[in-house]
Structure 1
Amino acid sequence: MVGIIGTWNAPVFTLLSPLACVLGAGNRAILKPSEIAPRTAEVLANAFAERIDPDIIDVVTGDAEVGAAFAAQAFDHLVFTGSTQVGRKIMAAAAENLVPVTLELGGKSPTILGRSADLDAATHRIALAKSTNGGQICISPDLLYVPRERLEEALTGLKQAFASLYPSVAENPDVVSVINDAHLTRIEGYIDEVRQAGGRIEITPEDTTEDESSRRRALHLIVDPPRSSRILQEEIFGPALVVLPYDRIDEVIADINHRSRPLALYYFGEDAAEQRQVLEHTLSGGVTINDALMHAAMHEAPFGGVGASGMGHYHGFDGFREFSHMRTVFKAPSIDPRAEWGVLPPYDDGFLAAMKAQVVPD
Structure 2
Amino acid sequence: MDGQVSPKAEIADPAARIASLLATQKAAWAADVTPSHAIRDDRLARLDRMVDAWQERFAVAISEDFGNRPAVVTTLTDIVPVRAAIRHARKQLKRWMRSRRVSLAWTGKPASAVILRQPLGVVGIVAPWNYPLNLMLSPLVGALAAGNRAMLKPSELTPAFSEVLAKAIAETFSEDEVVVVTGGPEVATAFTSAPFDHLIFTGSTAVGRKVAEAAAKNLTPVTLELGGKSPAILDASVQFDKAVPRLVWGKLLNSGQTCVAPDYALVPRERIADFVAALKEEVARQYPGLPANADYTSIISPRHFSRLTRLVEEARDRGAEVVELAGSHDGERRVFSPVALIGASDETAVMSEEIFGPILPIVPYDTLDEAIAYINQRDRPLALYWFGEDKAAKERVLTGTIAGGVTINDTILHLAQDDLPFGGVGASGYGAYHGEAGFLALSKEKPVLKQSAISGVKFLYPPYGRMAQWMLKLLGRFG
TM-score by length of 1: 0.95
State whether structure 2 residue 285 is matched by structure 1 residue 164.
yes
Shift in alpha-carbon separation, 1:343–1:356, aligned structure 2, 3 A = farther
Query: Matches of residues 1-362 of structure 1 in structure 2 within 5 Å?
Result: 1-205=122-326, 208-340=327-459, 342=460, 345-348=463-466, 349-359=469-479
Secondary structure, in 3 states, of the residue corresponding to 2:360?
strand
Shift in alpha-carbon separation, 1:347–1:119, aligned structure 2, 3 A = farther
The CA distance in 1 between the partners of 2:252 and 2:204, in whole Å, is 20
CA positional deviation for 1:357: 4.1
Shift in alpha-carbon separation, 1:169–1:333, aligned structure 2, 3 A = same
CA positional deviation for 1:224: 1.6
Q: Does the 8 Å CA contact 1:35/1:62 hold for their aligned counterparts?
A: yes
Q: Does the 8 Å CA contact 1:125/1:291 hold for their aligned counterparts?
A: yes
Moved more, 347-356 or 36-45: 347-356
CA positional deviation for 1:211: 2.0
Deviations 1:7-37 (A, max 9, x none): 0001111110000010000111000000011
The CA distance in 1 between the partners of 2:172 and 2:427, in whole Å, is 37
Runs of 4+ with deviation above 4 angstroms: 342-345
Deviations 1:103-155 (A, max 9, x none): 11100000000011111111111111111000000000011000011110011
TM-score by length of 2: 0.72
Secondary structure, in 3 states, of the residue corresponding to 2:125?
strand
Q: Does the 8 Å CA contact 1:343/1:354 hold for their aligned counterparts?
A: no
Deviations 1:136-177 (A, max 9, x none): 000000110000111100110011111111112233211111
Unaligned segments of structure 1, at least 5 residues: none
Unaligned segments of structure 2, at least 5 residues: 1-121
The CA distance in 1 between the partners of 2:304 and 2:163, in whole Å, is 22
Q: What amino acid maps onto 2:135 in structure 1?
A: T
The CA distance in 2 between the partners of 1:336 and 1:117, in whole Å, is 65
Moved more, 349-358 or 248-257: 349-358
Secondary structure, in 3 states, of the residue corresponding to 2:397?
helix
Q: Does the 8 Å CA contact 1:169/1:211 hold for their aligned counterparts?
A: no
The CA distance in 2 between the partners of 1:161 and 1:95, in whole Å, is 47
The CA distance in 2 between the partners of 1:344 and 1:91, in whole Å, is 47
CA positional deviation for 1:332: 3.5
Shift in alpha-carbon separation, 1:343–1:113, aligned structure 2, 3 A = farther
The CA distance in 2 between the partners of 1:45 and 1:283, in whole Å, is 38
Deviations 1:299-331 (A, max 9, x none): 121111111111111111111111100111233
The CA distance in 1 between the partners of 2:461 and 2:235, in whole Å, is 62
Shift in alpha-carbon separation, 1:163–1:345, aligned structure 2, 3 A = farther
Secondary structure, in 3 states, of the residue corresponding to 1:328?
strand
The CA distance in 2 between the partners of 1:226 and 1:120, in whole Å, is 29
Moved more, 42-51 or 166-175: 166-175
Secondary structure, in 3 states, of the residue corresponding to 2:450?
coil
Secondary structure, in 3 states, of the residue corresponding to 1:62?
coil
Aligned length: 356
Q: Does the 8 Å CA contact 2:375/2:401 hold for their aligned counterparts?
A: yes
Shift in alpha-carbon separation, 1:75–1:115, aligned structure 2, 3 A = same
Q: Does the 8 Å CA contact 1:264/1:287 hold for their aligned counterparts?
A: yes
Q: Does the 8 Å CA contact 1:104/1:310 hold for their aligned counterparts?
A: yes
Secondary structure, in 3 states, of the residue corresponding to 1:327?
strand
Identity of aligned residues (%): 46
Indicate the residue corresponding to 2:97 in structure 1: none
The CA distance in 2 between the partners of 1:313 and 1:354, in whole Å, is 43
The CA distance in 1 between the partners of 2:356 and 2:331, in whole Å, is 18
